[in-house]
Copies of this chain bind each other. A is one copy, B any other.
Amino acid sequence: MKLEDILAARARIRRWIHKTPIMRSRQLEQLIGCELHFKCENLQKTGSFKARGVSNFLTSQTNKAAIYTTYSSGNHGQALAWGAREAGKHAIIFMPEDASPAKVAAVRGYGSQVVFAGLSSSDRFEACTAYAQKEGACVVPPYDNELIIAGQGTAMLEVLEEVPMFDAALLPVGGGGLLSGNAMVLAHQRSGSRVYACEPRLAADVQASLRSGTLQSIDYPATIADGLRNLSLGERNWAIVSRHVKEGLVCEEQTIRQVMALYGQFLKLMVEPSGAVSLACLWENRKRFAGARVIVYVSGGNIALPDYGKLVSQDELLTN
């Protein structure tokens, strides 16, 4: 996989996706003590960066399938449902039996069919791949795929156009699609900027992998950051992350909730728990980043409103 793949992705998906805004807040900068640039992928089509990878996958396929499918409880499934509709294709999304009604409704709202398959991620993975083999459908993997990685990496090309120089970029990491694609762009185009992988402490497999130098996995992580519950990075993702990511940072669950409230208060943005993890990690490590110019990725904003209302109302605000 090469930088050229990401440059090609950008040209191909330009008319599919939003160039998302980079926002700033002087009040948050004073609170945290850094110069902050927020890359707002919660304002991306479908409410998360996942629309980038999916649209690159769908526009790159040479074997044009009639049916696309994936296994997802969250944003990747919504993105494929959206992308398939845009492409005039049919999509079937395998979801867990306990998927939130809001997420099921969102997938169906884009016109896709939902199939419920067990409760674990392996249940839906197996049901999806079995279906694809039988019906000749094309599986769109959530992160361990070069087209997906290249699509997610296009976000950093946009960042570099608006913020040419910075010290650090903080990105949330689950399976590693976003992190690996964006880290690859930086390694080639701004080797002086450091990339940090951000996770809940309850799901710190990437920090452990980077520290040990070998790919680590964890047991089912009970974090509220539902987009980052993967047990480990994908293989292709780890190959890039192990080379180009400086370090893993972690944060507490309580900080994630408080940072969601900060985004509401100061940026007027609804951010889902996974999307708040990079700023939460920055907050807990703010002394190390004092005075630095930092890119903070806000990866998504998909959360049911009653859950959001509860999460942001219950906490004291962060203060220095």
Contact = CB atoms under 8 A, between A and B. Distances in A.
Contacts of A261: 305
Contacts of A264: 270, 305, 308
A215 interface: no
A160 interface: no
A47 interface: yes
Chain A facing B: main interface SS: helix
A305 B313 contact: yes
A32 to B, nearest CB: 15
Given A21-B21, A27-B109, A109-B27, A268 B309 contact: no
Contact of A301 (B43, B47, B268, B312): B268
Interface residues of A, number: 23
Contact of A269 (B27, B268, B305, B313): B268
Contacts of A109: 27
Contacts of A270: 264, 268-270
B47 A268 contact: yes
Nearest to A20: B21
A313 B310 CA distance: 8
Interface string A280-320: 00000000000000000000010001101110110000000
A66 interface: no
Given A21-B21, A27-B109, A310-B313, A305 B265 contact: yes
A42 interface: yes
A276 to B, nearest CB: 13
A86 to B, nearest CB: 10
A23 interface: yes
A306 B261 CA distance: 10
Contacts of A312: 305, 308-309
Nearest to A302: B268
A291 B308 CA distance: 33
A42 B309 contact: no
22 contacts: A21-B21, A23-B43, A42-B268, A43-B267, A43-B268, A261-B305, A264-B270, A264-B305, A264-B308, A268-B269, A268-B271, A268-B301, A270-B270, A305-B312, A305-B313, A308-B309, A308-B313, A309-B309, A309-B310, A309-B312, A309-B313, A310-B313
